[in-house]
Amino acid sequence: MSRANIRILATGGTIAGSAGSATRRGYRPGQIGVADLLAAADALDLDARFEGGDIAAIGSQDIGWPQWSALHREISDALGDDGVDGVIVTHGTDTAEETAFLLDLTLPAGKPVVLVGAMRPADAVGSDGMRNLANAARVAGDPAAAGRGVLVVMSDQVFAAIDVRKAATGGAEAFRGFPRGALANVTPTSLDWFGPPDRPGRGARFAWPEALPKVAILYAYAGMDADTVGCALGSGDRGIVLAGMGQGNAPGPVIDALAASGVPVVRSSRVDQGSVDRTLEIDDDSLGFVAARGLGPAKARILLQVLLASGYEDPLAMQREFDRR
């Protein structure tokens, strides 16, 4: 069996971070370029050949439209290259779920595309970066990874972009999946899928947009008043995601203000895990709201941005897209 040809695209993050000491608490993300990552990957003696390039050298809290556009362009080029079997994106963990989901919505489910990061910088004692990278290489080089959409590899597990979230601020096992857990267990020497690909041959769900419109996330809390809705609208946001209490709820005056806002409103939840269903305590049909279902606020915002950029206006049409997987 021939060795897989894998293209690594680096964006920075903790996996490329350096503290200057194995035990120092603070560190700077994005200090290690792709050339050093490629050399480190080659030194792991994996069953793969690596090439790659730098997209950015930042902490993922700073990622946005310029980096996303460049990343989508480079991944699309790699997917169209017969000499590339899979793509790895090294990425900070803070917004990995957002980048992965945006790419998942706008790329075909063909060759494997794998995001990978680390919870500890490269020079820290117990760093998880190189193991995660080795695991990502095993996934990206596996033909059975095709047809599953964009994947995220962390802590010896493989997650689908639509399910994955960062659920803890620290620790190597900070990532979880909902409603599905991991799709596979992976180590540098093994890969065990729990089921077959669910999207073989599926093209991109949406075309890559020319730009992403502004969408605000409002975090609901006890005693919240309606002025927060006006603040978001005053900033020119074209949609609002409510990070609501429980099943996407908020105080009555806030709900009334959202209904009168004149922009699409998606109800998500500030709760770490669970689904926001349509028309339980809140009458979404009469108010014109959209229920985020299994998407947390960050991913609900990404999908709403893509829908607005794609010309969606009707809440029921938007709801059908939030109901899809």
Instruction: Flag whether 93 is marked binding.
Output: yes
φ, ψ of residue 200 to 5 degrees: the values are -60, 130
- DSSP assignment string, 11-59: EESGGG-B-SSSS-S--BTT-S-HHHHHHHHHHTT-SEEEEEEEEEEE-
74: CB partners within 8 A, 6+ apart: 9, 53, 55
Report d(CA 133, CA 252) in Å as an integer: 48
Cis check: omega of the bond before 188, within 30 degrees of 0: no
CB atoms within 10 A of CB 17: 24
Is 14 an annotated catalytic residue?
yes
Residue with tokens 């700073």: 62
CB atoms within 10 A of CB 79: 17
Instruction: Flag whether 269 is marked binding.
Output: no
Helix (H, G, I), strand (E, B), or coil: what is residue 202?
coil
Instruction: Flag whether 60 is marked binding.
Output: yes
- DSSP assignment string, 127-156: --HHHHHHHHHHHHT-GGGTTS-SEEEETT
φ, ψ of residue 14 to 5 degrees: the values are -65, -30
Catalytic residue among 14, 90, 106, 228: 14
Binding-site residue set: 60, 93-94
Catalytic residues: 14
Annotated binding-site residues for substrate read 60, 93-94
